[in-house]
Structure 1
Amino acid sequence: MKYSFKLLLLFSFLANFLFVFSQNIENTTIFEEEIKNRSSQFMDEPNFKKAQLFFLEKNWDSTLVYTMRQLSLPNQNQEIKNYCHLFRGFSLKEKKIFNQSQKELSKISKEFIFYYKVRIKLGEITLEQKEFKQAIHYFKEIEELNDNQLLGIKKSFVKHNLGLCYLHLEEFDKAEFYLLESVKLQEEQKDTLDLIGSYGDIATLYYEQYKDDLAIPYFEKAYDLSKKINNHQLKQNTALNMAVVEENRKNFPKALVYRKEFEQWKDSLNDQNKVWEVAQLEKQFAVKEKQKEVSLLQAENKIKIAERNGLFYSAIVLLLLLGTAIYFYREKIKTNKIILAQKESLDELNATKDKLFSIVSHDLRSSVNAMKTSNAKLLENLETKNLEELDALLHQNSAIANGTYNLLDNLLHWALLQTKQSYFEIVSMRLYFIVEQMAYNYQPLMLEKKIQFENTVSKKDIIFADQESLKIILRNFLDNAIKFSKENGIIKIYSENNDENYCDLIIEDNGLGMSENTRENLLKETTLLSKKENEKTIGTGLGMQLCKSMIQKNNGKLDIKSKLGKGTKIIVSLSKKEPNG
């Protein structure tokens, strides 16, 4: 029971932070208009004018540069100083440099029109730094102010944050008072987003005190209210809270419904994030291409100028002309070699890209067509109310969606790896806990196929690897083990130490297995991508290639043992020593 409380508390706090963020967004337009109007009298100062413009555009680095230039000028007006420290404090907070942000905001005089906005910002910073008593001091300063003095800051926002501080300090009576006061104001103002976060906080408050009967109705209120908004993060958090509530009640069928809803919103949110990441990659690629064009033009201009100067001085000194001609000839040869090497590399990358796109597009088309066909059957069975067939089709759709999602996720990581944009840091870690974390994420899928799972990795095993890439490796191999296992199958993950330099992590299943030819092809270094043998599964071999690349980057080794119809063993050998050890 205590484990469930902590889990609920974690997701409730996620909702809290989202709640604070959403309130700030709501007040941003009012605050920016006030800044624009009240600081217009100082627009004859060039540095201040640029600082204000960049601040409103949320270009924090440029804001810091021009405010520093303005402050370095002698005999500064105190009001201008206040605005500069305000701009700097807000910019540093957005860049997560909290200590410097506090120093800048503390320099603002009490007579400044936005003084109470500054105190709110200081309260938010200390709350993020978990300095709860100091945060209470800042929020108490503005608790009793009227609406005119608050300049658009909601009283419910102040009371809510006071409640959060007391909740963290475990002063539950005070926390309850302020959180209920905040909810009362939000209900009057009909702030739906704010109310969801507040209901979650009050539920957490009661759960911390083991008052389940008081907590659960607020979790239910938050869940019901989340149905009325278009915020996937809040929908995801409230659905997971309800799943844990029902698990505590031993109502497992209902808990499973909530968990499936949680996974649905989680996948939807991940899809949005992936689209955004792909867009960012495309933007970065376009910028780099432009930079290359500019650099090439600059190089060509330099060559033309040098050639013109050489011709000019050739009339004076013949020897200088000869030396200059030889120099530029050598430079041209060198440039041509570089261009030729770049062309060969680009041709190789284009061939890889074409093959990748061909296979991935084929699989995407196949999965979409499968989904389309399945949906048509689903509609037919809805009319006949054939529940057994409906259940089978829904599970089929879920498998298609999961496979397509994993394909796109692998594609993104492959692109990041190939363009050398992925962050990579080898550190020491206990292997057992990484395996346990990844296995937890796949529990719903294993439960659905009634697969028995065993994690017997030794808790003493310490390896050196990049944590994020190791998670990707485990996720792909565990996903394949589930995919190719039959119902009531067994998946085991365990470790062996047969070498003083390597720890062997073994993922074993008793599923379909593979032929010796397939096993050898998968281990070949020259194999880029290969089509799947089982046409009922979504996959390009990209996941295996991605795992092989990441294992190699982690200074590890891969081996596969398998027999057709008798299961598969994936053996990942991970280094026990530091890279330079």
Structure 2
Amino acid sequence: MSELRFREIWDKSFDGMRLLDKDGRIVMVNPALCSLIGKSRTDLEGQFLDIMFDPEEAQRIRESAVRRFRDNIIEPYLERQIKLWNGKELWVELSNSSIDLHDGEHFLLSIFRDITERKFAEKEIRLTNEKLAQINSQKDKFFSIIAHDLRSPFQGLLGLTEIMVEDSGSLTLRELNDISRSINKSATVLYELLVNLLEWSQMQRGSFDFAPKSLNILQIAEKNVETIRPVAAQKNISLDLDIPPNLKIYADEKMINSVIRNFLSNGVKFTNKGGNVKISAKMKNPGIIQISVSDNGTGMTEEYKNKLFKIDERIGYNGTEGEPSSGLGLLLCKEFVEKNGGTIEVETEFGKGSKFSILIPSAK
């Protein structure tokens, strides 16, 4: 190849090209390398290759390159992250080869290709794939829990309706009332599970409308207390409210309703007959309101408390009257509260009761 042709290829290459001598001194660079490094040809040629890199790494890089060139240990191809003299970090695809130009003197030709954007794209793809794998894993676990927890109430419904079909003529009024109550309990459990499943599915698909607005906490609490009151009455559990009338939060109404409803439902579920469940609210810090649901029920051990809000932990157990619980409601509560810029706190003592609180932004 003529020197003119060589120069034309050298100068017009889109990849950065550098020629080193055996001492690590830069003999030639092309315009593409100058652009990549941020230094001119005059700045680079005749200097040791240290000049290209971060001062803390430069000497080590030069000594390694000289040693490998001298011992003929040349890596023909590698991808490496480098830090330049000006602190800029790049990912480069580096091709190395030993060449003879004249008088048998060997030089190291290195060709640099900037692959930083490709590396970032690969990282984004990897993170996306990891996130998708995590979502799929959570979905599988969620549906596994749902399938397990749907089985019992359906078995109960099938068994009870079978009795009614086969023995309806011989059942007393009291027996029919007992069966009706059991059917109602199983249907209630099924309904709660299906509501949780629907809301979780909407959250995962991003189809749960998020419309935060100013909400009066007392009005929200009163509505949910009235919803749960018939269930509480069956266990003779009193429901108390301690909320200032003008306290307001900024949140999505459907999500906050779901959170308070789940907290109240759990409070009643895990409180003994004749117990008490209380919902309260106060200004915790400037701009932050604390809404709490406390009970004097069974409470939890510290080990059990640490398993809350984790989909990979199986935590469901029955309430004080055998009411089933899957723990799915708390998973939803966590997602809903975080979506509204809040957090959940749990205080509990085994045998004495629990207090579930959300810290949520106040309305301005």
| Counterpart Cα distance in 1 of 2:247 and 2:157 | 43
What amino acid maps onto 1:530 in structure 2?
Answer: R
Q: SS of the counterpart of 2:307?
A: helix
After superposition, residues 464-543 of structure 1 pair within 5 angstroms as 464-522=250-308, 528-534=312-318, 536-543=322-329
Structure 1 gaps of 5+ residues are: 1-316
Render the CA deviation track for 1:302-348: whole Å, top value 9, x for unaligned: xxxxxxxxxxxxxxx97899649998977766654443333222211
CA offset digits 1:48-100 (Å, max 9, x no partner) = xxxxxxxxxxxxxxxxxxxxxxxxxxxxxxxxxxxxxxxxxxxxxxxxxxxxx
Q: Measure the CA separation in 1 of the matches of 2:118 and 2:149.
A: 46
Write the mapping of 1:346-357 to structure 2, written as runs, cut at 5 A. 346-357=132-143
Question: What value does the CA root-mean-square deviation take over the aligned residues?
Answer: 3.2
What's 1:549 paired with? 335
* Structure 1 residues 371-390: aligned runs within 5 Å: 371-379=157-165, 382-390=168-176
Residue 281 of structure 2 contacts residue 290 of structure 2 at CA under 8 Å; is this kept in 1? yes
Partner deviation per Cα, 1:207-258 (whole Å, 9 max, x = no partner): xxxxxxxxxxxxxxxxxxxxxxxxxxxxxxxxxxxxxxxxxxxxxxxxxxxx
Q: Cα offset for 1:420?
A: 2.6
Question: Residue 426 in 1 paired to residue 229 in 2?
Answer: no
> 1 CA distance for matches of 2:197 and 2:12?
54
Q: Is the 8 A contact 1:528 1:545 kept in 2?
A: no
Cα deviation for residue 558 of structure 1 reads 1.8
Structure 2 residue 161 is matched with structure 1 residue 367 = no
CA separation in 1, counterparts of 2:166 and 2:12?
85
Question: Taking structure 1 as the reference length, what is the TM-score of the superposition?
Answer: 0.40
Q: How does 1:267-286 map to 2 (within 5 A)?
A: none
Partner Cα distance (1:544, 1:422) in 2: 17
Residue 432 (structure 1) shift: 0.4
Residue in 1 that maps onto 2:242:
456
Q: Which of the pair is proportionally richer in strand? A: 2
**Contact residue 296 and residue 354 of structure 2 kept, 8 A:** yes
Identify the structure with bigger relative contact order (alpha carbons < 8 Å, sequence gap 6+). 2
Distance 1:566 1:377, change over 3 A: farther
Decide whether the 8 Å contact of 1:495 with 1:504 is kept in 2: yes
Letter in 2 for 1:544: L
Given the superposition, is the C-alpha separation of residues 337 and 396 from structure 1 closer, same or farther in structure 2, using an over 3 Å criterion?
same
1:84-95 aligned within 5 A: none
Count, aligned residues: 260
Letter in 2 for 1:362: H
Deviations 1:188-211 (A, max 9, x none): xxxxxxxxxxxxxxxxxxxxxxxx
Give the C-alpha shift of residue 360 in structure 1. Answer: 1.2
Q: Matches of 2:269 and 2:152 in 1, distance apart?
A: 17
Q: Does 1:345 align with 2:131?
A: yes
Aligned-pair CA distance for 1:570: 1.9
Where does structure 2 lack aligned partners over 5 or more consecutive residues?
1-7, 16-92, 94-111
Offset of 1:431 from its aligned partner?
0.8
Determine if contact 2:317/2:324 at 8 Å carries over to the other structure. no
User: Helix, strand or coil for the counterpart of 1:355?
Assistant: helix
Specify the alignment match of 1:567 in structure 2.
Answer: 353
Q: C-alpha displacement at 1:350, in angstroms? A: 1.5
1:330–1:506 distance in 2 versus 1, CA, 3 Å: closer
Q: What SS class does the counterpart of residue 394 from structure 1 fall into?
A: helix
Secondary structure at the residue paired with 1:442?
helix
The answer to whether the 8 Å contact 1:529/1:541 transfers is no
Is residue 529–residue 540 contact of structure 1 (8 Å, CA) maintained in 2?
no
| Compared CA separation, residues 355 and 480, structure 1 to 2 (3 A) | same
CA distance in 2, matches of 1:318, 1:369: 79
Paired with 2:256 and 2:209, the residues of 1 have a C-alpha distance of 13
Going from structure 1 to structure 2, the CA distance change for 1:379 and 1:482 (only over 3 Å counts) comes to farther
Q: 1:327 to 1:392 in 2, by over 3 A?
A: farther
Aligned ranges 1:18-37 → 2 under 5 Å:
none
Distance 1:530 1:512 in 2: 18
Aligned to 2:197: 411
> CA offset at residue 469 of structure 1?
0.9
Q: Deviations over 1:80-125 (max 9, x none)?
A: xxxxxxxxxxxxxxxxxxxxxxxxxxxxxxxxxxxxxxxxxxxxxx
Q: Is the 8 A contact 2:307 2:313 kept in 1?
A: no
Q: Return the offset for 1:502.
A: 2.8
Match of 1:460, SS? coil
* Equivalent residues in 2 for 1:132-281, closer than 5 Å: none
Match of 2:233 in 1: 447
The one-letter code matched in structure 2 to 1:407 is L
